[in-house]
């Protein structure tokens, strides 16, 4: 998780023209959505079995430390936290990045998400919810279950006053819980 997020986050910053030196002590936020924590589960299992572990195993494998690792390595001083809201983790992290920019808590923000499946338990836990062919077919009539995979993405966000600024513009965002629906994981259409 950490290696993948470091590579992706730094690549996004470098594509904007930032260097590690220019970022040092900057008010850049890191807000990251995390879906799985297989490494953390593996560490807990080893500890319960009395297996020897590195003194750094806990902080190197837990989902809570992911955003902090990026801030630590690059010397960033903006708001920094990991979000775990299952499937919406990355979107909630991007919303938090936008809010922190609007409130002036940071000058720029790295927002994104990471998911890695490092052990089979994640597959076993979903059981019959998994698509038989392993493919996710979101919004498709042929959808027949969940498809899981590794992924990481990051964007660099900054507040702009100049409408001529290049890049994508975020018109708005929001976060809510849409209440009861057909199941815990099914969205409530009218609330969405």
HEC sequence for the chain = CHHHHHHHHHHHHHHCCCCHHHHCCCCEEEEEEECCCHHHHHHHHHHHCCCCCCCCHHHHHCHHHHHHHHHHHHCCCCCEEEECCHHHHHHHHHHHHHHHHHCCCCCEEEEEEEECCCCCHHHHHHHHHECCCCCCCCCCCCCCCECCCCEEEEEEEECCCCCCCCCCCCCCCCCCCCCCCCCCCCCCCCCC
Pick out the chain residues at pLDDT < 50: none
Q: What is the separation of C-alpha 30 from the centre of its chain, rounded to a whole number of angstroms?
A: 10
Contact 52, 34 (CB under 8 A): no
- Up-side HSE of residue 190: CA atoms within 13 Å toward CB? 4
Give the sheet arrangement for strand 28-34, strand by strand. 80-83, 28-34, 108-115, 151-158
Per-residue pLDDT at 167: 65
Q: What is the separation of C-alpha 28 from the centre of its chain, rounded to a whole number of angstroms?
A: 16
């Amino acid at each position: 998780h950490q290696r993948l997020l470091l590579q992706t986050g730094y690549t996004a910053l470098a594509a904007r023209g930032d260097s590690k030196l220019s970022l040092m002590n900057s008010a850049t936020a890191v807000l990251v959505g995390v879906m799985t924590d297989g490494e953390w589960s593996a560490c807990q299992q080893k500890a319960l079995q009395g297996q020897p572990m590195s003194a750094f195993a806990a902080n190197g494998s837990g989902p809570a430390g992911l955003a902090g690792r990026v801030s630590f390595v690059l010397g960033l001083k903006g708001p920094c936290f990991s979000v775990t809201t299952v499937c919406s983790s990355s979107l909630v992290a991007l919303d938090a990045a936008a809010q922190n920019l609007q409130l002036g808590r940071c000058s720029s923000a790295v927002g994104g998400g990471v998911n890695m499946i490092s052990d089979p338990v994640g597959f076993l836990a979903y059981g019959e919810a998994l698509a038989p062919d392993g493919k996710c077919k979101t919004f498709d009539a042929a959808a027949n279950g969940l498809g899981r995979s590794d992924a990481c993405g990051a964007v660099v966000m900054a507040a702009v006053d100049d409408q001529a600024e290049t890049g994508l513009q975020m018109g708005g965002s929001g976060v809510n819980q849409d209440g009861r629906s057909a199941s815990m994981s099914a969205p409530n259409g009218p609330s969405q």
